[in-house]
Amino acid sequence: MILELKDVKFSYNSKWNRVDVLKGVNCSFERGKVYGIIGKSGSGKSTVLSLMAGITLPQEGQVLHEGIPTSEMNLQEYRRDKVSVIYQSFRLLPLLTTVENVMYPMELRKIPQKEARARAEKYLCEVEIPESCWNRFPVTLSGGEQQRVAIARALATETHLILADEPTGNLDAENSDKIIDLLKTLAGEHDCCVIIVTHDVDVMDKLDVIYKMHNGLLEAR
Ligand SMILES: Nc1ncnc2c1ncn2[C@@H]1O[C@H](COP(=O)(O)OP(=O)(O)OP(=O)(O)O)[C@@H](O)[C@H]1O
Ligand SMILES: [Mg+2]
């Protein structure tokens, strides 16, 4: 088991308002499999992903990575070394070029520049970003290209846990298929655990396990 959620509760609290989003989520995720999380807009899918990614901590319950609760970890190290995230809104760094964006997380991990560059180019090729895009800034790329660069950036770090929030939201059916196949190959060949939030029925059909976010809980389907 690479990731386990035990009775996880989370609410957003502001001075005027309190939104209970997760109400006791229990579920677990293994290596070698691709999981889907589905559910209505606003049901808490991105929230549960941000807890898995160590961006926030649950108010109650535990998120355990290889048996260790995120609440007991150095979260900065966890985010840098153990997990890769593909964000719903890409979050490419605007002042870095395409290839520099993909290299950036590897530089944080002190991977030598030559190797980082080689891996960046390898994964940009895997997601079919042509060389003519490599030295351009994200703002000059199309939405689908930006999404694929964000995917290359997450994969190039080669962690065993990949979290993807609507990774195919801006892609046509053909590109979407290729990305899902690539994620499935990584799960199979590199023994990764991939967790994908998606609304896309065609994507769902290709995944190993589907959970549905409903009334603050993740239910197996
Ligand atoms: N920073 C925040 N402060 C207050 N409320 C928030 C915050 N972020 C999210 N919420 C609320 O929490 C709920 C869950 O949001 P979340 O982004 O997890 O939904 P989602 O399932 O990812 O939706 P979508 O499919 O639209 O991306 C929503 O009602 C949202 O308005
Ligand atoms: Mg979301």
Q: pLDDT per residue over 85-142, tens digit each?
A: 999 889 999 999 999 999 999 999 999 999 999 999 999 999 999 999 999 999 999 9
Q: Whose CA is nearest to atom 16 of ligand 1?
A: 44
Q: pLDDT per residue over 49-91, tens digit each?
A: 999 999 999 999 999 999 999 999 999 999 999 999 999 889 9
Alpha-carbon span 53 to 161, nearest angstrom: 9
Q: How many CB atoms lie within 10 A of CB 170?
A: 17
CA of 86 to the centre of ligand 1 (A): 17
**Helix, strand, coil shares, percent, the chain, to 5:** 40, 25, 35
- The third-level CATH classification (topology) of the domain covering 32-55+74-220 is Rossmann fold (3.40.50)
3-state class (DSSP) for residue 8: strand
Q: Which residues line ligand 1 (CB under 6 A)?
A: 12, 19, 21, 39, 41-47, 88
Q: What residue segments make up the domains of the chain, in order of their start?
A: 32-55+74-220
Alpha-carbon span 199 to 73, nearest angstrom: 32
Please state whether beta strands 18-29 and 3-13 pair in parallel, antiparallel, or not at all (unpaired). antiparallel
Q: Whose CA is nearest to atom 17 of ligand 1?
A: 46
Alpha-carbon span 219 to 221, nearest angstrom: 6
Alpha-carbon span 136 to 108, nearest angstrom: 22
